[in-house]
A and B are shown apart, each in its own frame.
Chain A
Amino acid sequence: IAAESTKVALVPGGPHPYFAAWEKAGQDAMKDFKLGAADYRIPQKWELSQQNELLESLLSQGYNAFLVFPGDPVGSNSTVAELTENGAPVIATAGCLKEPTTALFCLGTDTGNSAYLGTKELIKAMGGKGRIAHFSGFLVDPNTQLRIDAVEKAAKETNGAVKVVQVITDIDAPEPAEEKINAYLAAHANEVDGIITTAWIPAVVASNALRKIGDKRIQMVGIDHDEVVLKAIKDGFVHGTMLQNPYGQGYIGSFALDKIRSGCKVKPDAPFKTIALTNRFIDSGTVFAGKDAVDNYVASMQAITKEIFANFASTYLSCP
């Protein structure tokens, strides 16, 4: 099948700055691989039902390959199954679907591992001991539980030197994040030594909060590449951030979908990683960026993308 017939839809879970790079990635992939389309289509809200509707509609519109950030690791499975049943291959992108699933594989950040690594970095910065507060996202997102567990695991490994004293969740919206994080710091700032954030908005709000109280004693590791977080790292209020690779996900994912449509198969013995949700996981790269790395974080992500892309086909796909 010719590449022009491949029409990829890149569908995030809702409007969110994280996915902005997917648009560019799709356009680049379309040009580079001569695809019929690689369009970035977003649901209007972070609602599982809205995403489902959008996906169903895109299928009726003739899209035949999907990169999907699953609105829910379990709940999105039936829609994904419907897509594949109608001949459109799906790659779970940026977040994974829980097995069993009809998605080809999951290309994204191992959320648990990223949180774990971030916490390790934080503990290192704290000098191996102290108390940690963990700020995370929607409680109903099973990833949140994975992150809570991962942070807990990293702390446990210190044999009691580090303790997670507080977990605050459901602060993915700016208003509650402001209120809860500030309230927490107001009451307990001197009882914590480190903060780990595992969602975008909490990372932004916590960076600002630390800047506001001017406290450089409390160490913090954030997530993602929001300007506020990056600037706080440069100014020394935040220790570093766990970067993910949205561009790479979109670019490589589009490429893989086209290959699959042109007859390639996913190698059954490919070196997939196993994570809590799935045993067909491909890490799109997660790196820790500290003060020295923030300025050229784009370059480092591109390097990772290039590296994964270079032998992606040979590693994961078997083509006729």
Chain B
Amino acid sequence: MASPTPTELDPSSELDAVADRGPLLSRESQTLRFLLSNEFGLIVLIAIFAGVFSLFTPGFTSPFNQFTLGRTMAIDIMIGFSMMVVIVTGGLNLSVGAIGVCAAIGFGWLVETLGLPLPMALLGALALGATLGTVNGILIVRSGLHSFIITLATMSIFFGVMVFLTHAEAFRIIPPEMSAFGKMRILSYVSPLLLISIAVGVLLTCLYRLTPLGREMLAAGAKAAAAELSGVRIGRTFVICHSLSGVLAAIAATMVVARNGAAIPSMAGGLGQDWLLPAVLGPVLGGTLLTGGRVSVFGTFLGSAFVTTLTNGLLQFRVGEFWLQTWLGGLLLLAVLIDLARRRYLARGGRRMA
């Protein structure tokens, strides 16, 4: 296999002669790049573990388990997305959970107390998420402080205001279509929530691949100074990232409402902290860089899917109940080591190909 060596690109010595030599991208290196990618690694890992689980536990492949697995996965993926769009900037949004809970409670209030129709209430919840996210973004950009500390504070504030207003009361009277949606099974295996996550994932991929805004987000996150000197409006871009994070958190929250059949303040734990782990785990395993500037929507999807599969399978395995976490951590380590070995092996092969 011959990848183009630099000599092939040597232009003719005449200054103005721009020869038309076809695209500079070669197919071989694209294939190798995919095989070396995180996404491929995760697919392999999911396949390995899913295979082991379905061989050794009877319950894993049952329609009900696959359905609940998909449902849990869908929510974790969406939570992962809402963190991912901020990680792109090199920051974090600790308040994803708090925004999510606020959006869920806001949704509950809109349908139960105000009696709004379902679509309006959903829009209202998303708008609330966007607003809170925007507040984060503006505070971060205006103060110049790290998003970690700002969202740490707003996590307290958003959640505190919500608890203060509701006194931790849940909203239960949500439209029956909503809870039915949470329980709905397509072909008895698939939760429609998973389809929503896939759809959002496709949209996000388009954002980063096909729009100037998405590219600017990545550029600003990778190296703000360089992006700024190329005309990217850093501040505005960062604010939009946070607003988007708020919207995605709100979508995740409405999915949880559908799943729980109620909007409850404790759905994400105290201050919404229970969301933090799934929020960061998916993007990080999926190859989104914590330092910003690189994103993989599909990777986040697979990362979250991998962790939920692993957890689900381990629960099926019935390892000693108190030792489950040890197993989970151990298998996670094993998984990244397998992945590392794969990458080393392929990289060596790739160099030989060159």
A contact residues around B324 at 8 Å (CB): 44
> From B265, which residue of chain A is reached at the shortest CB distance?
A140
Smallest CB–CB gap between B344 and chain A, Å?
Answer: 32
Q: Does any Cβ of B come within 8 Å of A60's Cβ?
A: yes
Of A40, A56, A62, A79, most B-chain CB atoms within 10 Å:
A56
Contact with B along A135-154 (1 / 0, CB 8 A): 00011111011000000000
Task: Count residues of chain B with CB under 8 A from any CB of chain A.
Answer: 41
How far apart sit A79 and B315, CA to CA, in the bound complex (Å)?
Answer: 17
* Closest partner residue, chain B, to A170 (CB atom): B270
Q: Would you call B131 an interface residue if the criterion is a C-beta within 8 Å of the partner chain's C-beta atoms? A: no
Given contacts A54-B315, A61-B59, contact A46 B262 (CB under 8 A): no
Given contacts A77-B261, A78-B179, contact A56 B65 (CB under 8 A): yes
Contacts of A78 in B (CB 8 A): 179, 182-183, 259-262
Segment at the A interface, from B121-129, B162-170, B214-222: B162-170
Q: Which residues of B contact A110 (CB under 8 A)?
A: none
Alpha-carbon distance between A41 and B321 when the two chains are bound, in angstroms: 6
Q: How far is the CA of A168 from the CA of B300 in the complex (A)?
A: 39
Identity of the chain B residue whose Cβ is nearest the Cβ of A144 in the assembled complex? B168
0/1 per residue, A20-54, Cβ < 8 Å to B?
Answer: 00000000000000000000111011111100111
Question: Does A191 interact with chain B (Cβ within 8 Å)?
Answer: no
Asked if A75 meets B269 with Cβ closer than 8 Å, knowing A59-B64, A139-B163, A140-B168, the reply is: no
- Nearest 5 CB-CB pairings of A with B: A60-B59, A140-B266, A57-B315, A78-B261, A60-B65
Residue A86 interfacial (CB < 8 Å):
yes
User: With a CB–CB cut-off of 8 A, which chain A residues contact B169?
Assistant: 142, 145
Contact with A along B247-262 (1 / 0, CB 8 A): 0000000001001111
- Contact check, A53 vs B312: say whether CB atoms are below 8 A apart: yes
The residues of B that contact A145 with a CB separation of less than 8 Å are: 167-169
Which B residue sits closest to A54, measured CB to CB?
B315
Contact present for B260 and A47 (CB under 8 Å): no
The CA of A289 and the CA of B183, in the complex, are separated in Å by 45
A175 to chain B, nearest CB (A): 13
Report Cα–Cα, A77/B179, bound state, in Å. 11
Of residues 226 through 247 on chain B, the ones whose CB sits less than 8 Å from some CB of chain A are none
Q: In residues 69-106 of chain A, which contact B (Cβ within 8 Å)? A: 71-72, 74-75, 77-79, 81-82, 86, 98
Q: Are A75 and B260 in contact (CB under 8 A)?
A: yes
Shortest distance from the beta carbon of A18 to any chain B beta carbon, whole Å: 15
Cβ of A47 and Cβ of B269 under 8 Å apart?
yes
Most A CB atoms within 10 A — which of B72, B168, B172, B182?
A: B168
Could you say which residues of chain A place their CB within 8 Å of the CB of B328? 44
CB B271 to nearest CB in A, in angstroms, measures 9
Given A48-B274, A60-B62, output 16 extra A-B contacts at Cβ < 8 Å: A48-B266, A49-B274, A52-B72, A53-B311, A53-B315, A57-B312, A62-B59, A74-B172, A74-B260, A74-B262, A75-B170, A77-B260, A78-B179, A139-B270, A141-B266, A145-B169
Interface residue count on the A side (C-beta < 8 Å):
39
Interface status of B318 (Cβ within 8 A of chain A): yes
CB distance from B160 to the nearest CB of A (A): 9
What residues of chain B have their CB less than 8 Å away from a CB belonging to chain A? 57-60, 62, 64-65, 68, 72, 75, 163, 167-170, 172, 179, 182-183, 256, 259-262, 264-267, 269-270, 274, 311-312, 315-316, 318, 321-322, 324-325, 328
When each residue 102-119 of chain A gets 1 if its CB lies under 8 Å from chain B and 0 otherwise, what string results?
A: 000000000000000000
Q: Are A53 and B325 in contact (CB under 8 A)?
A: no
In the complex, 11 of the A-B residue pairs with CB atoms within 8 angstroms, ordered by the A residue number, are A48-B266, A49-B274, A54-B315, A57-B59, A57-B316, A62-B59, A77-B262, A78-B182, A78-B259, A141-B266, A142-B266
Least Cβ–Cβ distance between B41 and chain A, in angstroms: 25
Per the bound structure, the CA–CA distance linking A11 and B169 in Å amounts to 24
Q: Is A15 part of the binding interface, using a Cβ–Cβ cutoff of 8 Å?
A: yes
Which of A15, A49, A60, A72 lies in contact with B72, CB distance below 8 A? A49
Contacts of B316 in A (CB 8 A): 57, 60-61
- Do residues B64 and A140 form an inter-chain contact, with CB atoms below 8 A? no
Contact B170 A142 (CB under 8 A): yes
Are B270 and A57 in contact, CB atoms less than 8 angstroms apart?
A: no
Tell which of B57, B167, B266, B312 has the most Cβ of chain A within 10 Å: B266
Question: Which listed residue, A48, A81, A141, touches B168 by the CB 8 Å rule?
Answer: A141
Cα A142 to Cα B169 with chains together (Å): 7
- Chain B: which residue is nearest A77 at the CB level? B261
Would A44 and B325 count as touching, CB distance under 8 A?
Answer: yes
A82 to B169, CA, bound (A): 23
| Residues of chain B with a CB closer than 8 A to A52's CB | 72
> Cβ of B312: which chain A residues have Cβ within 8 Å of it?
53, 57
Using A53-B72, A78-B260, A86-B64 as known contacts, say yes or no to A138 and B267 having CB atoms under 8 A apart.
no
Of B64, B168, B266, B321, which is within 8 A of A60 by CB?
A: B64
Chain A's nearest CB lies how many Å from the CB of B111?
A: 15
Chain A contacts for B72, CB-based, 8 A: 49, 52-53
A53 close to B68 (CB less than 8 A): yes
Q: How far is the CB of A9 from chain B (nearest CB, A)?
A: 10
CA distance in complex: A107, B17 (Å)? 86
Q: Please pick, from B59, B68, B264, B311, the residue contacting A72 in the complex, using a CB distance under 8 A.
A: B264
A139 touches B168 (CB 8 A): yes
Measured CB to CB, the closest approach of chain A to B278, in angstroms, equals: 9
Inter-chain contacts of A54 with B (CB < 8 A)? 315
Residues in A whose Cβ lies below 8 Å from that of B265: 140
A142 neighbours in B (Cβ, 8 Å): 168-170, 266
Query: Which residues of B are found within 8 Å of A141, using beta-carbon distances?
Result: 168, 266
Contacts of B260 in A (CB 8 A): 48, 74-75, 77-79
CB distance from B113 to the nearest CB of A (A): 16
Complex contacts, B256 vs chain A, CB 8 Å:
49
A57-B59, A60-B62 are known contacts. Are A138 and B274 too (CB-CB below 8 A)?
no
Question: When A142-B170, A145-B167 are in contact, do A57 and B65 touch as well, CB less than 8 Å?
Answer: yes
Given contacts A42-B322, A46-B269, contact A56 B264 (CB under 8 A): no
Which chain B residues lie closer than 8 Å to A86 at the CB level? 64
Known A53-B312, A60-B62, A61-B316: A47·B170 in contact at CB below 8 Å: no
